[in-house]
Chain A
Amino acid sequence: MKKLGQLTILILIAAIVWGYFKPHSDQVAMSIEKLVLTGSSTVAPLVAEIGKRFESLHPNVRVDVQTGGSSRGVTDTRTGLANIGMISRALKKNETDLLSFTIALDGISIIINQSNPVSSLSKQQIIDIYTGKIINWHDVGGNNAPITVVNKAEGRSTLELFLHHFELTNTQVKPHVVIGDNQQGIKTVSGNPNAIAYVSIGAGEYEAEHNIPIKLLPLDGIGASVSNVHNRSFPLSRPLNLITSKQPGGIAKTFIEFARSVQVNDLIEAQYFVPIAN
């Protein structure tokens, strides 16, 4: 009995370890079409969601989404490693050989507590606040109170867009609080009259309209709102694009059309991006 028990135990360990290390077998049937998308880590989670919905509508298609940054998206599209690339910016001047298709817009707004008398901040003032050169609201026309600087955790697309727009690196930013998602930022600012944070514009506008005591600061004189992101006038925003090396055809064309249609607006809004299709 004892021997038998030990033997069973050994076999079980072996089975578990083997199951863990066993390479996944790729059993792709011949009829299945594969669509490979690579690029920006900002766009990738959204495209992965869109891909799941696309797969459920087209059972013979497998959408494979890989991240690696916008530049990888451009390179892979040019070399043909990817059918479609994903970039979280507009095409540059030296990338006119590619075609871009905007699927959504990403915008962020600076938020402060509603009780804060400050009604606008210049670009330089925001930079000085975030780098710790201005530490009191008094210096930018507010109350005599220390500023609580709220920054986002590394890896978030809002952080990347914020740093890019203000030409900062994350090591220069001197935060007092670091937050994860937009909700945490909104709660922090609504609970602290001297806090300043930035959140996705969709989330910020929604909460401000629902009596949460925060206000969205305008930037360069342009009000922070989803509609201003939508008409591309708000400066702290960027397009999220799919790119191809030639006029897309077949399944790639269907996918791009699907990603730009109203059928995915709920997925786009769930990630706090602004949809383009009405």
Chain B
Amino acid sequence: MSLSQTDKHLTFILRLCALLSAAVILLILIFLLNESLSIFQHVSVSRFINDASWHPQQGLYNITPMLSATILSTVGALILATPLGIASALFSYFYAPKFLATWYRRLIELLAGIPSVVYGLWGLTTLAPLIAQLHPPGVSLLTAILILSLMVLPTVALTVEAAIAAVPASYLQGAMALGLSRWTSIKCIILPAAHSGITSGILLATGRAIGETMAVLMVAGNVVQHPHSLFDSVRTLTANIALEMAYAMGDHRAALFVSGLVLMIMVLLLVFMAAFFKRKPAYV
């Protein structure tokens, strides 16, 4: 069966669009490598792990504290946001009365649309002083985790709800015909069937949490150190770039591009993980 002329044109245009987006990603990678290359010529890769601290103007380039801060704040935010997001989706899809569910969903969508800098400002002026009463200085890993979980909660809630809605209605009807309770059918049929959608929703939220910059910059404290407690001030890789890029030159600038490269590698790993989870069958 041969394609019609219109289809041929459409195929060509679509291929072109896909190629352009792929080329952009490739160019970003080339750009990052190109910009960080100048520092790798006289600073070995191991120094980014073994140096005493991050003081790029004095030639010290240890980026591991920022890597640990990025990972810890992301994992912390997911631990909080994932159960809440799934619960929120189940509530609005199965348990809430219809009018309430509509308004509730709009509220969550609104939460997703608030610019990150607004979350940051609120965190800095309201949440940080509250936490400072518990343990100074207030801006800390904990504050960053709380703000980040608030930010990724709508992502989890909305994608999980979409995944649940995509489960064929006949599954639920079958479960009800068998006389299963609502919670049993959710737990044993709906959630396993929506498993792949939920996982990709969580991975999407992870990507957002890793990449979040402004809000974290404002509430995390930005001291470069491996945190010893939740109340310690930390700096993430993204905040590092935003803080120092404006005035960085030479090796300092290149070192910031290395932070960007590490971030890019983390996101790439995440994408491969997503692909790995996707390959599993949706329902077993």
Question: Which residues of chain A have a CB within 8 Å of any CB of chain B?
Answer: 1, 5, 8-9, 12-13, 16, 20, 41, 67-68, 145-146, 148, 153-157, 169-171, 175-180, 184, 187-188, 191-192, 194-195
Q: How far is the CB of B121 from chain A (nearest CB, A)?
A: 8
Residue of B nearest to A149 (CB): B137
Residue of A nearest to B252 (CB): A155
* B23 x A16 contact (CB < 8 A): yes
Number of interface residues of B (CB under 8 A): 43
B56 close to A (CB within 8 Å): yes
* A155 x B248 contact (CB < 8 A): yes
* 219-255 of chain B: CB within 8 A of chain A: 221-224, 233, 235, 242-244, 246-249, 252
Q: Which 7 residue pairs are nearest across A and B when measured between Cβ atoms?
A: A155-B247, A178-B222, A148-B137, A153-B243, A176-B137, A177-B221, A180-B243
Q: A154-B55, A187-B124, A191-B129 are in contact. Are A9 and B137 (CB under 8 A)?
A: no
Q: A156-B247, A184-B218, A191-B138 are in contact. Are A171 and B55 (CB under 8 A)?
A: yes
Q: Which of B8, B23, B124, B246 contacts A13 (CB 8 A)?
A: B23
Q: How far is the CB of B246 from chain A (nearest CB, A)?
A: 8
Q: A12-B23, A188-B124, A194-B136 are in contact. Are A155 and B222 (CB under 8 A)?
A: no
Q: How far is the CB of B162 from chain A (nearest CB, A)?
A: 33
* B244 x A192 contact (CB < 8 A): no
* Bound-state Cα–Cα, A44 to B202, Å: 45
* Bound-state Cα–Cα, A184 to B124, Å: 9
Q: Which of A20, A178, A191 contacts B124 (CB 8 A)?
A: A191
Main secondary structure of the interface of A (DSSP, over half): mixed
* Bound-state Cα–Cα, A148 to B249, Å: 29
Q: How many A-B residue pairs have CB under 8 A?
A: 105
**Additional A-B contact list (14), CB under 8 Å, known A176-B137, A191-B138:** A1-B8, A9-B15, A9-B19, A12-B19, A13-B19, A67-B249, A148-B136, A153-B243, A169-B58, A170-B57, A176-B233, A180-B246, A191-B125, A191-B132
Residue of B nearest to A151 (CB): B223
B188 close to A (CB within 8 Å): no
* Bound-state Cα–Cα, A1 to B10, Å: 13
* B244 x A177 contact (CB < 8 A): no
Interface centre among A13, A184, A194 (most CB of B within 10 A): A184
* Bound-state Cα–Cα, A159 to B39, Å: 24
* Bound-state Cα–Cα, A169 to B59, Å: 13
| 6 A–B contacts from the bound complex (CB under 8 Å) | A16-B23, A154-B55, A170-B57, A175-B223, A175-B233, A177-B137
Residue of B nearest to A178 (CB): B222
* B129 x A177 contact (CB < 8 A): no
B27 close to A (CB within 8 Å): yes
- Chain A residues positioned under 8 Å from B124 (CB to CB): 184, 187-188, 191
* Bound-state Cα–Cα, A154 to B249, Å: 11
Q: A176-B137, A180-B243, A191-B129 are in contact. Are A154 and B221 (CB under 8 A)?
A: no
Q: How far is the CB of A253 from chain B (nearest CB, A)?
A: 29
* Bound-state Cα–Cα, A41 to B249, Å: 9
Q: Which of B15, B20, B136, B248 contacts A192 (CB 8 A)?
A: B136
Interface string of B19-31 (1 = CB under 8 A from A): 1100100010011
* Bound-state Cα–Cα, A41 to B246, Å: 11
- Chain B residues positioned under 8 Å from A176 (CB to CB): 136-137, 221, 223, 233
Q: How far is the CB of A42 from chain B (nearest CB, A)?
A: 9
- Chain B residues positioned under 8 Å from A155 (CB to CB): 57, 244, 246-249, 252
- Chain A residues positioned under 8 Å from B139 (CB to CB): 177, 188
Q: Which of B8, B20, B27, B222 contacts A153 (CB 8 A)?
A: B222
Q: Which of A5, A20, A154 contacts B56 (CB 8 A)?
A: A154
* Bound-state Cα–Cα, A17 to B247, Å: 29
* B222 x A192 contact (CB < 8 A): no
B116 close to A (CB within 8 Å): no
Q: How far is the CB of A22 from chain B (nearest CB, A)?
A: 14
B68 close to A (CB within 8 Å): no
* A177 x B242 contact (CB < 8 A): no
- Chain A residues positioned under 8 Å from B243 (CB to CB): 153, 178, 180
* Bound-state Cα–Cα, A24 to B121, Å: 41
Interface centre among A5, A157, A169, A176 (most CB of B within 10 A): A176
* Bound-state Cα–Cα, A12 to B21, Å: 12
B145 close to A (CB within 8 Å): no
Interface centre among A20, A145, A148, A153 (most CB of B within 10 A): A153
Q: A155-B244, A155-B252, A187-B125 are in contact. Are A177 and B27 (CB under 8 A)?
A: no
Q: How far is the CB of B32 from chain A (nearest CB, A)?
A: 13
B95 close to A (CB within 8 Å): no
